[in-house]
Amino acid sequence: MDAVVLVGGEGTRLRPLTLERPKPVLPLLGRPLLAYVLERLAEAGVTRVIFGCGYLPDPIQACFGERALGLGLEYVVEPRPLGTAGGILHAARGRVSGTFLALNGDILADAPLADLVAAHRARGAVATIGLTPVADPTRYGLVRTDGEGRVLGFLEKPAPEEIDTDLINAGAYVLEPAVLDRVDEGRPVSIERETFPSLVGEGLGALAQGGYWSDVGTPESYVAAHHDLLAGRIHSQLPGLLVNTRWIDEMALVSAEAVLESPCHVAAGATVEAGALVGAGSCVAADAHIEARARLDGAVVQERARVGEAAVVEDAVIGPRAHIGAGAHVASGAIVGPGVSIPAGGHVEAGERVFPEGARVTADDTR
């Protein structure tokens, strides 16, 4: 079976982390986010994946090449942003001839895709949407279904009094090639807002699935994904991970006088000096350096970054090659961009994004 995976978004909600590399290859416990998606597809029996690329496609291809996890990989670059349906059409047309899966490449989930395919085939559907329950449906579009798994309609960003279901589109679909005929070429088309509504009553089905689900698109959800993997809240075949433990690579240099709380991750080549605290949920990437008496409280420190003596980093992300000066404080939800230096004693506010000097910053990048 083939799959189309959309990886063309610019990841503006995660800027400045996505200035140098696209969201699908951001590291998650030393492994690209997209690797977890590929793992899920391989478990479902998929043999070929076609990536619908847009923003910064080269790092994705450099990361995965022509084959990964037993999957053959192809890359199709959009000439311009085409929306979700337009992106699927551009990637699939001329390459896919039978029933295929289509996924958003920035969703971290573990519901079995094989079950979605089986439900699709059992109903003889033209398209089947994977659904997931969420605690706050007002942030998403609701999908209304009947008792037989047929889609009755959609409700975008409902008011609290309109909520009659907690099921939302989970970003995973099984499609027949005929669905592509519903997509106009030459303009951006949304599969969620245009294509699927046009199929209501014409063979559009859905399957509600449990398990873990997260749209990894904000600093908070990116940090939380690290915590959730370490705590075993998501099923994964990540090599070497033992959940709820201290995962310290044998090639890491960790002082006997450092304190590491479970669960946490210290990668190969990282250094943690005496008196430093790597708190529960914290992740120290390859070749990063945590100096004496520094404190990480659920923080994500990316490759070759440095956290200075007695500095404090809360539930924030320190980008690659960044330097947090001695005694500095980075508050929860902040992002310090690639190569950025925070001076000694400096303070980064909660939710603040610190961009590299000279980076072009748009309004979308600071929302």
For residues 133 and 282, membership in a common domain is answered with: no
Distance CA 63, CA 86 (A): 25
Percent composition of the chain: helix, strand, coil (DSSP 3-state, to 5): 25, 30, 50
Last residue of a domain, one of 202, 217, 232: 217
Q: Quick check: is 229 in a domain?
A: no
Pairing state between β 2-7 and 100-104:
parallel
For residues 109 and 160, membership in a common domain is answered with: yes
Number of domains within the chain = 2
pLDDT tens digits, one per residue of 242-276: 888 999 999 999 999 999 999 999 999 999 999 99
The answer to whether the beta carbons of residues 270 and 289 sit under 8 Å apart is yes
Distance CA 158, CA 69 (A): 39
For residues 36 and 182, membership in a common domain is answered with: yes
For residues 213 and 250, membership in a common domain is answered with: no
* pLDDT for position 155: 86
CATH number of the domain enclosing 250: 2.160.10.10
Phi, psi of 10 (to 5 degrees): -85, -10
Q: Quick check: is 324 in a domain?
A: yes
* pLDDT for position 360: 67
For residues 206 and 266, membership in a common domain is answered with: no
* pLDDT for position 91: 96
DSSP conformational letter for 32: B
At residue 236, what is the residue type?
Answer: S
* pLDDT for position 363: 55
Q: Which residues contact 282 (CB under 8 A, 6 or more apart)?
A: 261, 264, 265, 296, 297, 298, 299, 300, 301
Q: Quick check: is 355 in a domain?
A: yes
Angle, helices 57-64/33-43, rounded to nearest 10 degrees? 60
Q: Quick check: is 235 in a domain?
A: no
* pLDDT for position 157: 75
For residues 255 and 173, membership in a common domain is answered with: no
* pLDDT for position 75: 97
For residues 186 and 319, membership in a common domain is answered with: no
CATH number of the domain enclosing 189: 3.90.550.10
For residues 151 and 190, membership in a common domain is answered with: yes
- Both tokens assigned to 303: 């490759």
Q: Quick check: is 172 in a domain?
A: yes
For residues 158 and 254, membership in a common domain is answered with: no
For residues 209 and 255, membership in a common domain is answered with: no
Structural domain that includes position 273:
245-366
Q: Quick check: is 71 in a domain?
A: yes
For residues 203 and 255, membership in a common domain is answered with: no
* pLDDT for position 242: 83
- Both tokens assigned to 362: 């748009």
Distance CA 171, CA 270 (A): 35
Residues of the chain with pLDDT under 50: none
Q: How many CA within 13 A on the CB side of residue 177?
A: 10
Q: Quick check: is 35 in a domain?
A: yes
For residues 64 and 203, membership in a common domain is answered with: yes
State in Å, rounded, how far the first CA of the chain is from the last one.
39
Q: Quick check: is 32 in a domain?
A: yes
* pLDDT for position 163: 82
